[in-house]
């Protein structure tokens, strides 16, 4: 009887252990603000020509980063910044609510997938701060070239800030 109980407990532990999510994945979250937008006075402007060029440059830079998901808020400027990456990577766009960054950050950390997240000057630093549980400098309304990289490993989270203009040198 005891032997049967021991086998049952071992079997149960093996099955329960296999069902637990793996937490030793290494992945990166690339956070960018949308590219340059038109100043047409609307709440949902399109990208400028310079913005479209930046979005294309980003897409080419991201093509070898093993991106599994691309996220954007539901505005023309963010979706249009993400669009070239979606085309190059062959992925579909995920839409997130920039008014609920806490829930979105939990989802990103739970999913454990390398992803691009396109946001806004007021939401990108806030989301980065939630993801790394650290202070992240605010972003000025005129700043378009900051790229925040959150690297998550089994030993912890690291934050790196890159300037896109330095990445796109010919």
Write down the pLDDT at residue 165.
86
Torsion of CA 7, 8, 14, 16, to 10 degrees: -170
In a domain, 33, yes or no: yes
* Owner of token pair 């290494």: 26
Phi-psi region of 132 (alpha: psi -120 to 50; beta: other; left: phi over 0): alpha
The parent domain of residue 133 ranges over 22-167
Residues 6+ apart with CB under 8 A from 8: none
4 belongs to a structural domain: no
pLDDT at 18: 41
At a CB cut-off of 8 Å and minimum separation 6, what does 13 contact? none
93 in any annotated domain: yes
Q: How many domains does the chain have?
A: 1
- Within a domain: residue 80? yes
CATH number at residue 34: 3.40.50.1240
Q: Could you give the C-alpha distances from 103 to 19, 35, 93, 127, 137, in angstroms and in order?
A: 24, 25, 18, 10, 21
What is the rounded distance in angstroms from the CA atom of residue 80 to the CA atom of residue 66?
21
Does residue 70 sit within a domain? yes
Taking only the tens of pLDDT, the chain with its 170 residues reads 554 444 443 444 444 444 444 444 899 999 999 999 999 999 999 999 999 999 999 999 999 999 999 999 999 999 999 999 999 999 999 999 999 999 999 999 999 999 999 999 999 999 999 999 999 999 999 999 999 999 999 999 999 999 998 888 65
Residue 131 lies inside a defined structural domain of this protein: yes
């Amino acid at each position: 009887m005891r032997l049967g109980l021991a086998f049952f407990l071992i079997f149960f532990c093996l099955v329960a252990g296999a069902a637990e999510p793996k937490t030793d994945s290494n992945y990166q979250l690339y956070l960018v603000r949308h590219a340059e937008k038109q100043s047409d006075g609307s709440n949902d402007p399109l990208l400028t020509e310079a913005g479209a060029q930046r979005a294309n440059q980003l897409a080419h830079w991201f093509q070898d980063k093993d991106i599994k998901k691309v996220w954007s808020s539901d505005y023309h400027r963010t979706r249009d910044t993400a669009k070239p990456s979606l085309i190059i990577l062959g992925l579909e766009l995920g839409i997130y609510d920039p008014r609920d960054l806490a829930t979105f950050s939990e989802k990103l950390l739970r999913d454990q997938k390398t992803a691009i997240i396109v946001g806004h000057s007021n939401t990108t630093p806030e989301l980065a701060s939630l993801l790394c549980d650290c202070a992240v400098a605010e972003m000025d309304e005129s700043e378009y070239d900051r790229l925040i990289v959150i690297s998550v490993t089994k030993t912890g989270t690291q934050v790196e800030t890159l300037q896109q203009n330095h990445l796109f040198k010919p």
